[in-house]
Structure 1
Amino acid sequence: MKSSVVYVIVAAVFLASVSSTVNANDPGSVQDFCVAAGNPNAAVFVNGQFCKDPKLAVAEDFFLAAFNKPGVITSPQGSLVKPANVAQIPGLNTLGISMVRIDYAPRGGMNPPHIHPRATEILVVLEGTLHVGFITSNPDNKLISKTLKKGDVFVFPVGLIHAQINHGNTPAVAIAALSSQNPGVITIANAVFGSKPFIPTDILAKAFQVDTKIIDQLQAQFPKQA
């Protein structure tokens, strides 16, 4: 009986070891796509970064002084997002995590509907009040939303459309952590109506079941590029 127990334990350890080895050698993608290169001279690292010799690492590789002060909000949506990902903190490369600070203007400041294709997001409100939510995938498209106060936490699952808006009379601030060193962001309005080049008007008109003039008006909010 004892030998059977030992065998099961050894087998479990072996399988766990194999599983972790496979996961370590086959990380999740942190870029939009990776086209296989027939010519190795044309290849790039999947993470898009070269690795520094660990012996040469310094504290500044893991440090960013950016979240202690509010930024100047100039966007028409009334929000400002300060990222802390691998582009700002080189030491995040391969660690699978990043953060953002989001400042919201009073009375309607919004982080507009968007998705993170490579990350789940967990957000905590530092100041003010936010109304937040995400939409589930087809066919339900259920809106799951909540009003958050200072200290409240909310999670946005990976790849789902989500947004936050400040209905209060004072500025709001939130910090969010994301489960990727480079989570990516696709703002829905920018992608649909501001693509480069524009999606043909007749396609969008049929998709949204509206007149082409409405699509023209929406696309006019974005600079046209061929």
Structure 2
Amino acid sequence: MVSATKGVGTWLGDRLKGPGGLYNLGNAVGLVSGIAASAQAARHRAGVSHVVAATWDYVAGSPAAAAVTVATVFFFWSGEEYRRAWRPRQASDRNRNRRGDLLSSLGAVLLGLGLALLGNPLLAATSGFMHAAGKLGSAIGLESRLRLFGWSMPASDIFRLSVVLSRIPAILLTLGAIASDFETLAPSAALERSVLPWATMICLCIWAGADLMLARGSRSTANSA
């Protein structure tokens, strides 16, 4: 029993290493918290069928939900590619890293489409298409230098930076949702509503940390090449 527990711990520890591990940790927290919030909301309507129906609606109950779910699959896949690309004490695998970037860009396009269908144009443009552009640029691997606000920077740095910046509107909107819940926290229902924004904020911070780790790792690799 002890050896099995230790084996599971070792396996989990390996899965959470590097930027890929962080990305997939955030993906898992986001997916589980979203499904849990939907199930919790349906629980008040009595009956397991309502919980199942609410879960299905969250995952694939509409074109927007289906787009976001497929995007999540791509994000998990890209996270695994990053995890395998960035092994401790080893040079990163550029091919796997670029596959991770490409898969993440495809996921971001689908996420942007889902957010647009849900009526969130700001998040569709930033968390979706701006994120996708940054990841696609990283996947292409341009070696030239570009000018940004009067500064000359490697194209790879600009693409990685755009991914980090794409998180900011989502973070600000989530902070607004948390603040709004604090203002109406008297009923117990408000407490339930506040769980999802907090989980979203945790995910965004984890993803941003992975973005920065990937950017630093990519720069170190480029400098040592």
Tell whether the structures are fold-level matches, with TM greater than 0.5. Answer: no
Greater fraction of residues in helix: 2
Greater gyration radius: 1
TM bucket (normalised to shorter chain) is: under 0.3
Q: Normalising to structure 2: TM-score of the pair?
A: 0.20
Q: Give the alignment's TM-score, normalised by structure 1.
A: 0.20
Between Structure 1 and Structure 2, the one with more strand by share is: 1
